[in-house]
Amino acid sequence: MHALVTGGGSGIGRATCRQLAADGYHVWVCDVDIEAAERVQGEILVAGGSATAWHVDVSDETSVEALFAQVRATAEIDCLITAAGIQLLDHDAPVHELDTAVWRRTIDVNLTGTFLTLKHGVRSLLARGGGAIVTIGSPDGIYGMEPRSQAYSASKAGIHGLTRAMAIHYASAGIRVNTVIPGFINTPMNAPIIDNPAAFEQALAAVPLRRVGTPDEVAAVIGFICQPTASYVTGSLVFVDGGLTAQ
């Protein structure tokens, strides 16, 4: 079995690579930071798993196309996870203040990057005869929970819509498509909040479980969705958020 994870060098992507390797997959650890990808590859190998590190810039179709050409030359992927993403916290803003370059960079990586990965990844899954796809969403893309992060919210809302439309279209081809929506998770992306005591307490107060989640907890759900035991799960928005969005 083979799994491909973009954004696999850190955070939820890293945890997902480790989870899938433990589940018996050969994992393609793909990241724009090749050194980070190679570190995760090393962690998997030390733990007795199997992995390949690969550089990819998901916002560049040539880079994405080269990745899947290499994958097709050596393997058939069974599951695809699009965990690559950015959040430009210090630059995102309400639309009347939002720099167009910040908007474009956010959309290019988060939404267009997901689209390009899915475009070429689905071709591989169609040739294989089916498989599982998991995209990474956000509560911001549904509830506007960070009102100033309007580029980020738009990018994630686009991912949610794309995922659900794909789930309907590709169901007959045996491809399941779901979105996992993490809440307040201890990742590098959330470090500016976690490292600020006041901001951390404010964020934690909104979580009914009253703690920050871990990347491993998100990865465990992603791992389940990729398994044959989740064969009737498609088109779902799966929340892993400690009750954040249940209020």
Q: Give catalytic residue positions.
A: 152
Between CA 186 and CA 203 the distance in angstroms is 12
Tokens of 210: 């009253």
Task: Report CA-CA distances (Å) from 207 to 161, 185, 237, 240.
Answer: 25, 11, 19, 11
Between CA 21 and CA 37 the distance in angstroms is 14
Taking a C-beta distance cutoff of 8 angstroms, is the pair 89, 105 a contact?
Answer: no
Three-state DSSP class for residue 182: strand
Tokens of 159: 């991912």
Which of 136, 144, 143 shows the shortest CA–CA distance to 187? 136
